[in-house]
A = this chain, B = another copy of it.
């Protein structure tokens, strides 16, 4: 039996996030009861990720980042949520999940990409002295050679500037965060625009990638920021769907077109 002994410490499945006694709850060592009424949801999310509450400047920038990710309109994830709600209105959790499942490489991947690009750049020792222009040129050339899309620049609607990106970067600089990754993204944007003769502004995912780097948020967890923020937005879409249904209309049209295509008499 000994090899099955489950009392070994290394066999214990333990989470250290919360500590609960009959009259107290602590989250990462901080008294939850004292936080209630004093800590906002964004700061609490920061605590979940960093195991400490944010300083004021961190609170301002972190809340701004996640707020910018909450609501992106009738995107594929919102359509998936609404379709799911149409079929299973008893399960709000299912409808939100269906929408979150689309936050993959296509959309959120660009945020990871720009965060990773910035973090690899910083890991090589970049600082105030670094020649940002040369680095940007090198990065653009590298992506071109690999035939990969440069993450974090360009937007179909927001031209010539993405106002969300500009505001987020301005806030981060204003709050005193290291602007090296931001300057890198901007240099990439400007050089790529000239080189490819296109309008390629730093977009919101590029800005978040850069700022996440300044805030020491690992690029591997940036997708998590998108997921937590969008869960809020998708609840908003469900609420709107209960009042102004869209799913039935989208479905009707898709089905009608399939039948048009089938039936030559139409």
Contacts and interface: CB of A to CB of B under 8 A. Distances in A.
Interface residues of A, number: 124
A224 interface: yes
A167 B258 contact: no
Copy tally for this chain in the complex stands at 4
A73 interface: yes
A244 B105 CA distance: 20
A195 B25 CA distance: 29
Given A233-B48, A235-B49, A100 B93 contact: yes
Contact of A37 (B60, B77, B91, B255): B60
Contact of A239 (B49, B100, B232): B49
A1 interface: yes
A216 interface: no
A240 interface: yes
B78 A80 contact: no
Interface string A87-99: 1111111111111
B246 A14 contact: yes
A14 B249 CA distance: 10
A193 B14 CA distance: 34
A122 interface: no
Interface stretch (A61-69, A129-137, A142-150, A177-185): A61-69
A87 B76 contact: yes
Given A48-B235, A161-B23, A223-B93, A40 B40 contact: yes
B106 A18 contact: no
Contact of A42 (B14, B42, B250, B262): B42
Contacts of A17: 71, 73, 233, 236-237, 240
B167 A37 contact: yes
B84 A80 contact: yes
Interface in A34-78: 35-37, 39-45, 48-49, 59-61, 63-64, 66-68, 70-78
25 contacts: A1-B266, A4-B256, A4-B260, A13-B249, A14-B261, A15-B74, A18-B73, A20-B262, A24-B163, A36-B68, A41-B232, A48-B236, A74-B254, A76-B86, A79-B80, A79-B83, A90-B90, A91-B91, A92-B221, A93-B94, A94-B94, A96-B100, A224-B238, A228-B231, A231-B232
Interface of A: 1, 4, 6-7, 11-25, 27, 32-33, 35-37, 39-45, 48-49, 59-61, 63-64, 66-68, 70-80, 83-84, 86-108, 157-159, 161, 163-164, 167-168, 171, 220-221, 223-225, 227-229, 231-233, 235-240, 242, 244, 246-247, 249-263, 266
